[in-house]
Amino acid sequence: MPSEPAGAARTYRQVRFERPKGSTEILLVRHGESTVADPGKPFMLVEGRGDPELSREGREQAKRLGARLARYPIEAIYVTPLRRTRETAGPLLNELTLQPFVEEGLVEIHMGEWEGGLYRKKVSEHDPLATKVFEQERWDVIPGAESNELLFSRTAAAIRRIAERHPDGLVVAVAHAVSISAVLAQATGSTPMSFVGGDNASISTIVVSGDHWVLRRFNDTAHLED
């Protein structure tokens, strides 16, 4: 690089973000679109939570996601106990020849009496109780649903576990709309549902350095655009 002329005033470029030494970059991926909910045929439950498979659209989203992330230096991929996260991670796992780790702490919120697909129906039909959920920003407005406090506690613990295993690493965690939104709300100190609208197969990024979490990206869907 040419040296500055003698006597010239020193100049400064804008400072770029640099990941702190020992920190972990986590790509939080929402699973691809799952099959439609049919009130007459509730989803099978796994540990009390609805477990639909990916739809045709969701499988295509997973392929595009895998093609994009395959060029990243990813050292580990995490999924939850629910099949839609494993199916979303499948193409990327094949590209990188990795085996997934299961992180139960990032599983979707338990919807109580609205499990099995009923939540979708209630929201789509503007059920008064569904409206109340979003007005109060509390999931346990739904009878039997998990509380915000438990959701935040378990997702934070999951992020800490992942970060502790991968200092200076880049990892992918395929999870769910509400669990991802809980992580991002804690990273930014925002209200509980500020990030609940993430799209299927979207990428959000946080950098974890001890107790300091930085949000670097939210709802990136460039790989899904034609």
pLDDT in tens, the chain (226 residues): 555 566 789 999 999 999 999 999 999 999 999 999 998 999 999 999 999 999 999 999 999 999 999 999 999 999 999 999 999 999 999 999 999 999 999 999 999 999 999 999 999 999 999 999 999 999 999 999 999 999 999 999 999 999 999 999 999 999 999 999 999 999 999 999 999 999 999 999 999 999 999 999 999 999 999 7
pLDDT of residue 2: 52
pLDDT of residue 226: 78
Give ∠ CA 46-47-52 in degrees, rounded to 5.
Answer: 25
Total domains in the chain come to 1
Q: Is residue 152 part of a domain?
A: yes
Range of the domain at 96: 24-41+48-109+148-224
Rg (CA), the chain: 20
> How far lies 110's CA from each of 29, 47, 94, 216, 222, in Å?
19, 9, 30, 28, 30
Interatomic CA distance for residues 59 and 47, integer angstroms: 24
Q: Is residue 163 part of a domain?
A: yes
Q: Is residue 214 part of a domain?
A: yes
- Within 60-138, strands assigned E span 76-79, 101-102
pLDDT of residue 5: 65
pLDDT of residue 4: 56
> How far lies 47's CA from each of 44, 51, 118, 151, in Å?
10, 9, 17, 15
Q: Is residue 14 part of a domain?
A: no
CA 94 to chain centre: 20
User: What CATH number did the domain enclosing 204 receive?
Assistant: 3.40.50.1240
Count how many Cα atoms sit within 13 Å of the Cα of residue 210 in the half-sphere of its side chain. 3
Q: Is residue 125 part of a domain?
A: no
Return the bridge partners of 109, or none.
none
**What is the value of pTM for the model shown?**
0.93
Q: Is residue 60 part of a domain?
A: yes
Structure-token pair, residue 93: 């796992």
Instruction: Select from 176, 175, 148 the least CA-distant residue to 162.
Output: 175
Q: Is residue 142 part of a domain?
A: no
Over the stretch 185-210, which tens digit does the pLDDT of each residue have?
999 999 999 999 999 999 999 999 99
Q: Is residue 201 part of a domain?
A: yes
pLDDT of residue 58: 98
Q: If you count DSSP H runs as helices and E runs as strands, how many of each does the chain have, helices first? A: 6, 8
Instruction: Select from 62, 71, 4 the least CA-distant residue to 30.
Output: 62
